[in-house]
Amino acid sequence: MSVVRIATRASELALAQSTWVAGRVAAALGLGTTLVPMRTTGDRIQDVSLAKIGGKGLFVKEIEEALLERRADLAVHSAKDLPAATPEALTLAAFPEREDPRDALVARERGARVADLRRGARVGTGSARRAAQLLAFRPDLVIVPLRGNVPTRLRKLESEGLDAVVLACAGLARLGLAERIDERIAPEILLPAVAQGTLALETRADDPLAGRIARLSDPAAAGSAAAERAFLARLEGDCNVPIAAFAEAEGGGWRVRGLVADTDGRRIVRGEAAAADPHEAGVAAAEAVLAAGGDAVLARLRSGAAP
């Protein structure tokens, strides 16, 4: 194979990420690359919340179909968009170095922090996870649903009269917009999404390219992704449910903090665990959340019952 066809979403951020990966493929593997941009269902439908139309998997399905139909050889995903399960014929071959996994506050008043926002401040986010934790920390905030790519969300800060928007630090950094970050929000306030800040490189499982792409994997990024995705899988989570997890290397093993929350933030169940194996640490953290009452929260959310 002389040219690797890289399937990617067509957003500005996705193209920036895929271009970076293409550079790594060329430098480390000596292979040529070409991007195959795709506008997914999740990108096309902007006026409805993701939870109502199928979740973040809508950013992934058509890209995976391009791999399965051999229209592409490699797919680049934001790992936080991936469902817990991968199609049997595909494999997540590599997780390159992780960017800052924290959430970012971008405020109208430069230098503001979440704690500083005026009472009743209007904060834009399209994430149930962010909304629940923000309301737990500041119940007075008004959460304004927000969809669109990063530049669109930044423009809405002004056009929709918002006091702030919350985005991923990683996305802003990859677009060269890190200077717009007013606060890198501590995990104690906003625990990140599963695998936030991590890219996932997916190939066909039977393609010899998979072994070569594996050389691009960073052990720390792969370990944290394994731990956090194990947490997600055990809770059978999706974007309808405010779920968060954050894994850190600790003492030769992994410590995982996780939570599940009611959408209004009034009830947040947290748990953590440590283990030598990242997958085991993620599952143990999920079990801790379930044992502390997370099972009841999940059941209520899935039934559609009010908190």
The residues annotated with a catalytic role in the active site are 81
Q: Are strands 74-78 and 243-250 parallel, antiparallel or unpaired?
A: unpaired
223: tokens are 């370990």
Burial class (CB in 10 A: 0-12, 13-18, 19+), 276: exposed
Tokens 């959340």 sit on residue: 289
At what angle are helices 219-235 and 278-289 packed, to 10 degrees? 30
Please count the helices (runs of H) and the strands (runs of E) in the chain.
Answer: 11, 13
**What is each CA distance from 276 to 84, 235, 249, 287, in whole angstroms?**
21, 21, 9, 16
Given a contact cutoff of 8 angstroms between Cβ atoms, the answer to whether 18 and 35 are in contact is yes
CA distances from 138 to 113, 117, 299 (A): 12, 9, 25
- In order of 82, 103, 229, 238, 244, the CA distances from 226 in angstroms are 12, 20, 5, 17, 14
